[in-house]
Amino acid sequence: MKATVNTALRLNGIRVRTAPPRWKLPCANTECSLHQLSPYIGKIKSSIAADLIERYSEPGDLVVDPFAGAGTIPFEAAIRGRRALAADISSYARILAQAKLAPPPSLDAALVLAETALDEAALLPAPDLNEVPAWVREFYHPRTLSEALNFATVCRRPGNEFLMACFLGILHHQRPGFLSYPSSHLVPYLRNRQFPRQDFPEMYAYRELKPRLLAKVRRSYKRFATPTKRAVLPFRQTAVEILTLPRQFGALITSPPYMNALDYGRDNRLRLWFIAPNLANNVDNDVTQRRQAFVNALSSLATKAERGLKPKGYCVYVVGEAIKRTFDGHPSNVVVTIMHQQAPSLRLKTVMADQIPDVRRTRRECKGVKTEHVLVFQRS
């Protein structure tokens, strides 16, 4: 028997409203191009993040996002006169969020940084490709891989997160501006059946890093905005369970991991390998895998919200709804139950449902996340 999505029109007595129609409008050509540094699974649309920030926080508020991912919510908060605190367990999230929240101040400065790093990388000794795992090697022409390995070495130095983010953003895809053999962009799969080497030899040729990286840097500054330094608190790479939050904050706006539906470690495996090649199976977290881990993480967060949210402040969760037979509780219901138990001074005020169109879904053919619920709690 197939599991069904909870389509009830009420959640905990609150009528489920349809999300504002403007959330459906595309924003790829209007948002700040730093949002497009590199793809991130489960990333919230920047226009939705902006809307939630405008509605549920005030200028000057500290907005906290403990599952910050690519930093979409903290970035939109910080350019809207709020202060932002971003945290996430993932090293890939750390790089994207730091790149976005503290990029070089101008395109010229970014190009100088990139040229200097490319020069430094060119001076490093040639890497031993035999030390690279076969599953990584199969994505690249050997010369491209040598350049990529040395450039990643330079990018791993603290302060080079923006360059690392640009590099990760061109790591795999089939378009000419990318470094790999033909493969998908979001999740790394070779497309050598679709593009056999004998029929598409140009797709398997050497791809020089430098012009591609510089073009990527330029693209990142197409629509540029940057938060002031004062607006951004240092990124915390940590599990939410051990995250310490400031004594008081104005709003908590976050999208928790999609329980059961997405596997961040597997889906980001190539990028994670370049970030930390020595950490094989550099897996981000196990929250997305197991219900109990999700419950633990959300319980810990609820306690922190109960303790630190300012009076009348909002706590907003954008909860992905996973359809999975093995999971016996709807994620929104789970979040509401946890909040009821751990954060009794916060009341559920609004519930919105947003259907995710296929184009925004990660794996289109699979049974993945289909709707998101936005749960808005307010401190009494």
Ligand X SMILES: C[S@@+](CC[C@H](N)C(=O)[O-])C[C@H]1O[C@@H](n2cnc3c(N)ncnc32)[C@H](O)[C@@H]1O
Contact footprint for ligand X (CB under 6 A)? 40, 42-44, 66-67, 69-70, 72-73, 88-90, 93, 239-240, 255, 257-258, 264, 284-285, 287, 297
Task: Provide the b/e sequence for 119-156 (b: ≥16 CB within 10 Å).
Answer: eebeeeeebeeeebeeebeebbbeebbbbbbbbbbbbb
- What is the Cα–Cα distance from 266 to 284, expressed in whole angstroms? 9
Of 98 and 285, CB closest to ligand X? 285
CB of 151 or CB of 258, closer to ligand X = 258
Nearest to 241 by CA among 94, 66, 65, 42: 66
Tell me how far, at minimum, the Cβ of 67 lies from ligand X, in Å: 3
- How crowded is residue 311: how many other Cβ atoms within 10 Å of its Cβ? 9
* Closest distance to ligand X from the beta carbon of 106 (Å): 25
Q: Which is nearer to ligand X, 66 or 313 (CB)?
A: 66
Taking CA 200 as the corner, what is the angle to CA 196 and CA 204, rounded to the nearest 5 degrees?
Answer: 90
**Which residues are CB-neighbours of 113 under 8 A, at least 6 positions away?**
104, 160, 162, 163
Given the complex with ligand X, which of 6 and 296 has the nearer CB atom? Answer: 296
Q: What is the nearest approach in angstroms of ligand X to the Cβ of residue 206?
A: 33
Q: Which residue is nearest to ligand X (CB)?
A: 69
Smallest distance, Å, CB 142 to ligand X? 32
In the complex with ligand X, the residue whose CB is nearer, 93 or 155, is 93
Helices (H) and strands (E) in the chain, counts: 12, 9
Residue 220 one-letter amino acid: S
Residue 316 Cβ vs ligand X, minimum distance, rounded to whole Å? 11
DSSP state of 232: B
Question: Residue 160 or residue 255: which is nearer to ligand X going by CB?
Answer: 255
- Cβ atoms of 359 and 25 within 8 Å: the answer is no
What is the C-alpha separation between 286 and 75, in angstroms, rounded? 26
Of 153 and 289, the one with the shorter C-beta distance to ligand X is 289
Encoded tokens for 42? 């489960």
Other CB atoms within a 10 A radius of the CB of residue 343 amount to 21
Task: Quote the least distance from Cβ 35 to ligand X, whole Å.
Answer: 9
Classified as helix, coil or strand, 91 is: helix
> Least distance (Å) from ligand X to the CB of residue 137?
27
What's the min distance (Å) between Cβ of 199 and ligand X?
37
Tell me the pairing of strands 309-322 and 369-379: antiparallel
The whole-angstrom separation of Cα 119 and Cα 114 is: 9
C-alpha span between 32 and 71 (Å, rounded): 13
Residue 181 or 264 having the CB closest to ligand X: 264
Minimum CB–partner distance for residue 135 and ligand X (Å): 22
Q: With respect to ligand X, which residue has the nearer C-beta, 63 or 118? A: 63
Tokens found for residue 332: 């929104």
DSSP-based three-state secondary structure for 354 = strand
